[in-house]
Amino acid sequence: MTRDLPYGPDDLLWVTNQATLLMGEKDAVLVDTYVTIEQNQQLIDWVRSFGRRLTHVYVTHGHGDHLFGLAQIAEAFPGVRAVGTDATVATAKVQTGADLVGSFWERLFPGQIPAELAVPEPLGDDHLELEGQRLDIVETGFTDTAGSTVVWVPELRLIVGGDVVYNDAHPYLSESTAATRREWATTLDRLGELDPAVVVAAHKNPERADDPRIVAETAAYLREFDLLDADTATAEELYGAMLERYPRRINPGSLWGAAQRAKQRP
Ligand SMILES: [Zn+2]
């Protein structure tokens, strides 16, 4: 995913997506999908390779890059249910609308967005079950968008973190404000108290492990962004100051968008 960017190392101009498959003996639950037709086909082949019955796809939040594969997956796995919280369903309706797909997603991925897009149905519960194990849905409030969630699997001490945590990738802050970033950082402190053993971010540097330290790292990044925002006058200065602090995080385009947004004068 490339975005508007003033300067910086070219090899970092992309973002990876990570989906998670939770497996029992016979059944499986997928958390989030990918963006493009080809990526989602690869995801389907990967899920098939484990020979489980896919019962649910849980969508962590309503951004298109987490749910554009739902229609393809529904076709590939008959009987699968795509679910999310009410807030996810509401955002997903906007993200899959012709306006946003045409003006945003199709521009980034011309000809690659699935023609048929689906919206998850409301889960209407605070957890899913996989062969008797609880998969708890934790509502995290406003993170990179309104009404985000993570999945907490107590048995594994696992957080499937969606876009609540980022792993060595610049977070998407363009929808956030200083107030929502404070809320986000506090939520991360709370998730840290669960004492997870594994934390999977939807956007990560593939060279990195799914290490629980990313919870505190993401909180520190958000607090630093606001401190440096107060210390700088222009988007270029804020961008430069953050890059000095985080020179090798992937997807600096996201930081550039955040810096521009933070310095926007009404
Ligand atoms: Zn997102």
- The model's confidence at residue 56, banded by pLDDT at 50, 70 and 90, is very high
In a domain, 50, yes or no: yes
The secondary element (H helix, E strand) that includes residue 239 is: helix 235-245
pLDDT band at 2 (very low <50, low <70, confident <90, very high): very low
Please report whether residue 5 resides in a domain: no
**d(C-alpha 241, C-alpha 246), whole Å:** 9
Count of domains for the chain: 1
Q: What is the CATH number of the domain that holds 190?
A: 3.60.15.10
Q: 240: exposed, middle or buried (C-beta count within 10 Å: 0-12, 13-18, 19+)? A: middle
**Percent above pLDDT 90 for the chain:** 83
Q: What is the pLDDT at residue 108?
A: 80
Let me know if residue 208 belongs to a domain: yes
Distance of CA 92 from the midpoint of ligand 1 (Å) = 11
Q: How far apart are CA 239 and CA 255, in angstroms?
A: 7
Exposure pattern of 40-50 as b/e (b: 16+ CB <10 Å)? beebbeebeee
Task: Write out the residue range of the structural domain in which residue 221 sits.
Answer: 11-262
In a domain, 1, yes or no: no
**Sequence-distant (≥ 6) Cβ neighbours of residue 257 within 8 angstroms:** 3, 4, 172, 173, 174
Cα(3) to ligand 1 centroid in Å equals 15
CA of 195 to the centre of ligand 1 (A): 24
- Is residue 240 situated within a structural domain? yes
Confidence of residue 167 (pLDDT cuts 50, 70, 90): very high
Domain assignment present for 163 = yes
Q: Is residue 3 part of a domain?
A: no
- Is residue 26 situated within a structural domain? yes
| Dist. CA 145 → ligand 1 center (Å) | 6
Q: Decide: pTM greater than 0.75.
A: yes
The residues, any chain, with a CB within 8 Å of residue 11's CB and separated by 6 or more, are none
